[in-house]
Amino acid sequence: MSQDLKQYADIIEQLKPMVNEPEFNQVLLQIASDVPKEKRFLIKMEVKRLAKPCMRTIDLRGHVDGKCRKYVHEGRSHYMDDIAVDKFEEQLRVFGRYTYGVYEAVQNTENNFRLLREKELAQEIANKDNPSAQKRSAVLEQFKVPTVNLLDYSQRNTERMNFAVAVEIVNSANQSMRGLSVDISLEGLQIKLSKDAFFKTGEKLFIYFRGLENEFAMDKKNGIAYTLVKIITKNDINYLALQRDQDVPNPAFDKFLESFIHGNKRRYKVNMNNTLEAITSKTCEQFFSPRSPTLPVFIDAVNNALIPRFAMANEVNREIVQYWQDEEDNCRLNFLLTQERLLRLLDKSEEMREMFVFSFTHLHGDKVYFYSASFEELMQKDMLFRVFLGFGSRKASWRVYKVTLTDMNPEQAHIPLSIPDSVGNKVKKLNSPPSARLMSKLKNLQFLAHITDVTSVTAQETYSEFKFNRGDLTHLRHFGHPRNRAPSDIQIVRFKYEEQRIESRYQLRTQVEARFNNEDTVHKGVSEDISVHGLGLRIELSKEYKGNLEGKVEVAFPRLQEISNSFDVMHLQYEIIYHNVDKNILHLKTMPGDEGKSARTFFEELIRKNKAKLKVESDEETVPGIGQALRCINARNATSLSFLMSKEGVRYTPQACIIGKQDERITNLTTQYAERGKVNLEFLFRDRKQDSPFVQSGIKAVKLENMPLRQELFVSFDASQKDPRMAIIPRYSDKFESNEQRRAFIRDAMTRGQFIAIHVMLTTTGKPDMSLLQTEINYVTMYAVHRARELEKKLWSFAACSHLVDVTDEVLIRHGFSREDITANKTLKSVTSEQIVLNNA
């Protein structure tokens, strides 16, 4: 095609199927009415040229980025790859035979080396004109990624076949337009028009399949009745989505169409856009859900009471479940999700249903006592606020949880395939709804609480600066949970997944004795938890240590020694890697080599037995299918933003993102400078040129230690700026030298626009469960094997994921900002009036 005619490529595409029809000139005049007469003549000649029979053989070996195979058509052997074969068959349908138009279309597929070189050359020329701008633009574009709605895709009742044929559309006013069909099914039709349509949504239209009238015995006088469902505009082309009008049946056409689709769907190819979308959606869910840090709790609403029924544990969030287990392994999540807190959340508007809950435990006589308080509960008295946060943060068991509440529907448990039942009995079985027995267990579920541990070392140190009167410690009893209360009747359901590669910490509350620097003095305390392989240990001393906390420490476990005959656990060697200011919370690591071998061996055995126990529990479902049902409901009600990354060279780049129902600040932040249907994550990678960028180095640390990595990101956001690099100023919390610097950053952010704090968690991805994807992948393989290969290649390219949780309000609480400041900061412009809580005593 000449350079002059390239601007009319869309018109030429629409004229191709009409070239051998008697009304070709009439259609040309209608479609190209606004094109100059001399150009219209050139267009006509070009279409006629493309329609001439071609005798050339096609050999793409060495010319395309794909594996070529022999393809025989009408006795002539061609060598083409899968993409070229698809294009060849598509153009055969358009022209009705092998023509120059077919030949040239096959020579211009997107993977043709000649076209790829031309694109590279054009890019090089553009880069020469403005090399720095072009390079910067390309770098920034890689951080704009599409959003995916987990398990949200369309299911088709009938197969839709790609089919291009000339049609005439007539409305009730007898106005008509010519167009080209795109795809067709027993229930619907899609048509494209090159100019603005005068049809309206909801209007009844009559379709005449003019391109079929010469080949089949079609009714030329009476069109087929359709209803216009919607009009979509893409690249100046209008696409009409039509649905068969059931009030005007046409049994003869239905019979013809069913036979036509069944006999030609392999030749014309089934439209699989919804299946491709479904596979992408399910793939993302496969990687997000098993590594989400958030614990979903499913709640019944019975007689005006909110009753937690199920909690879904995975590799990461099980730490939350273990934390709220007492010494007899009873689940005490009801201490966290009290009836009062749930009702308080329910009273809030849907987008504001969140609260922060602070907690710690106390071990006395081998019995665990739980204490917890929400921010709202602490604000009832200033004295309670300071004593709870100041005292609790000095304990190793200190935790901060974000709790959200969202509506849900039991019907969300049903996730049929994207493929219609007519494809086969196996598909029909997989499309069937959950059993009545299973739905009876879910029928009263109305709400979904999400619990996320957002504790950080920096935050704990900040809260420990709160000054309080030790005489007020007796008031803590208001927040203690009575042990005589019945354990929560919450069933723990575990995620089913193929492979565990991430491990976290295991709860271990028991008495310990420590000796520092080879001293004889014994310092008593309690352990909080251990990490994988027993390498890490967190303990809390009963009294502050006055000496120098450097080097080695010998740790004894007297209670564990009583039940262990095979190991000596009274002389385990550790080194100190962290201690708080008060020197009563210690993070320890086993000594390398033989010195730490006893500790590693003992705790590896202890963890192995616990994991075996967990595995037995996870294989037992009280009602078959309940785990998958709850997983589907949770995926459809995600509250926070997460994104997947693949490894390209030595760097990890984002590929897909899910946006939660809540955390509106993060949603606005990521979508402000991105096209519709995408997010812009560049600000998370702003440190990419530094020696140790958080995401890149963080994922390496996760792979090395097999544990998720968490960090807080402070953001100053001014939406009035046009340049995203000026509008969004990010800084990781550990880059500040003091709390004074953090408060100054917050004040400045609130003055210029809005302050946002994000709890960022990094983790590697696990191995996907292919059994949940295989049926749809096999369906795609039947009609487009190259697309199936692309999907599987992409599926296995995902290597890491990140979860972002909005902790803005909690950060403002810890740094002493008033409730008025917190409320004002929810909008994009606010003036602060900092209330100095920390310096009050």
CATH of domain 508-611: 2.40.10.220
Across the chain, what does the average pLDDT equal?
Answer: 85
How far is 511 from 525, CA to CA, in rounded Å? 6
| CATH number, domain 161-269, options 3.90.1510.10, 3.40.640.10, 3.90.320.10, 2.40.10.220 | 2.40.10.220
Q: What residue segments make up the domains of the chain, in order of their start? A: 3-117, 161-269, 293-494, 508-611, 640-824
Residue 574 is inside which H or E element, if any? strand 572-579
Among the ranges 205-209, 300-304, 428-432, which has the highest mean pLDDT value? 205-209
Residue 686 has pLDDT above 60, yes or no: yes
What integer pLDDT is reported at residue 828 of this predicted model? 64
| Higher-pLDDT residue of 613, 125 | 125
What integer pLDDT is reported at residue 620 of this predicted model? 57
What integer pLDDT is reported at residue 533 of this predicted model? 56
Query: Burial of 574 by CB count in 10 Å (0-12 exposed, 13-18 middle, 19+ buried)?
Result: buried
What integer pLDDT is reported at residue 683 of this predicted model? 93
Supply the pTM of this predicted model: 0.74
Sign of CA pseudo-dihedral 506, 507, 509, 515: positive
Residue 501 has pLDDT above 70, yes or no: no
Q: Residues 550-572: what's their mean pLDDT?
A: 85
Percent of the chain having pLDDT more than 70?
A: 93
Among the ranges 533-547, 584-598, 671-685, which has the highest mean pLDDT value? 671-685
| Higher-pLDDT residue of 693, 155 | 693
Residue 498 has pLDDT above 50, yes or no: no
Percent of the chain having pLDDT more than 90?
A: 32
Query: What are the pLDDT digits (tens) for 354-399?
Result: 999 999 999 887 889 999 999 999 988 778 898 999 999 999 899 9
Query: What are the pLDDT digits (tens) for 759-817?
Result: 999 998 877 777 788 888 888 888 888 888 888 888 888 889 999 999 999 999 999 99
Query: What are the pLDDT digits (tens) for 559-568?
Result: 888 888 888 8
Residue 249 has pLDDT above 70, yes or no: yes
How many CA atoms does the CB half-sphere of 478 hold within 13 Å?
Answer: 15
What integer pLDDT is reported at residue 307 of this predicted model? 92
Lowest average pLDDT, out of 265-269, 512-516, 583-587, goes to: 265-269
Q: Measuring CA to CA, which residue among 462, 447, 349 is closest to residue 400? A: 462
Query: What are the pLDDT digits (tens) for 306-355?
Result: 999 999 998 888 889 989 988 888 889 999 999 999 999 999 988 889 99
Residue 282 has pLDDT above 80, yes or no: yes
Query: What are the pLDDT digits (tens) for 104-137?
Result: 999 999 888 888 888 877 777 776 666 555 555 6
Residue 77 has pLDDT above 80, yes or no: yes
Residue 265 has pLDDT above 90, yes or no: no
Query: Burial of 302 by CB count in 10 Å (0-12 exposed, 13-18 middle, 19+ buried)?
Result: exposed
Q: Residues 736-754: what's their mean pLDDT?
A: 94
DSSP 8-state code for residue 241 = E
Identical fold, 161-269 and 508-611: yes
Residue 610 has pLDDT above 70, yes or no: no
Residue 485 has pLDDT above 90, yes or no: no
Query: Burial of 701 by CB count in 10 Å (0-12 exposed, 13-18 middle, 19+ buried)?
Result: middle
What DSSP letter does each residue of 247-263 carry, written as one string?
TS--HHHHHHHHHHHHH
Query: What are the pLDDT digits (tens) for 190-246?
Result: 998 876 778 888 999 999 998 887 777 777 788 899 999 988 888 778 889 999 998
What integer pLDDT is reported at residue 174 of this predicted model? 87
